[in-house]
Amino acid sequence: MPKTSHATSGCAIARGLDLLGERWTGMIVRDALRGIDRFADFVAELGIAQDVLTKRLNALVAAGVMERIPYQEDGSRMRYRYALTPTGRQLATALASIGDWAAAHLPVDGGSTSHFVEAATGQRVRAALVTDDGRIVAPVDAQLVVPSAGS
């Protein structure tokens, strides 16, 4: 067993990090949310090595986050592109919360940063913790509950 995997851990955070905590994976999903879907474009945008991109895309497809879709431009042969599945699009919340946190706590000189908006209204949206009855809870007032065993 060359590399530690938490894919079968009882902790959902561990399982999620097994994907997103891997180098490049989060950036690939971010670009996919921006509409990028072609192998060569991911390479150009991210500067990722091609063999690594192949592995990551395969992992994302295997996890049900992305799917490999054939397409054909006129006057070209059939090729493949990679698009987020509904499951993958749900990761928007996770990426938004990471982005919101970084915007607040890892500032950088150049002002404007990326953010999410509601498509219908253009209104800015942020990630927050909410109760089932719609109350917003500050992160400080939240507590992590782990059923029993740790890892």
Partner DNA sequence: AAGCTAACTTTGGAAAACAAAGTCAGATAT
Partner DNA sequence: ATATCTGACTTTGTTTTCCAAAGTTAGCTT
The interface with DNA within residues 16-45 (CB under 7 A) comprises: 22-24, 38-41
Element (DSSP H or E) covering residue 60: helix 50-62
Site membership for DNA, residue 2 (CB under 7 A): yes
Instruction: Single out the segment in contact with a copy of itself by CB under 8 A; choices: 53-61, 72-80, 137-145.
Output: 137-145
The secondary structure of residue 146, as a DSSP letter, is -
- Binding at 59: pick from a copy of itself, DNA, none (beta carbon under 5-8 Å per type): none
Among 5, 13, 50, 68, binds a copy of itself (CB under 8 A): 13
Of 71-90, binders to DNA (CB under 7 A) are 74-82
User: Could you tell me which residues are beta bridge partners of residue 82?
Assistant: 68
The full DSSP string for 17-56 is: HHHHTSTTHHHHHHHHHTT---HHHHHHHH---HHHHHHH
Site membership for DNA, residue 51 (CB under 7 A): yes
Among 37, 39, 43, 45, binds a copy of itself (CB under 8 A): 45
User: Could you tell me which residues are beta bridge partners of residue 71?
Assistant: 79
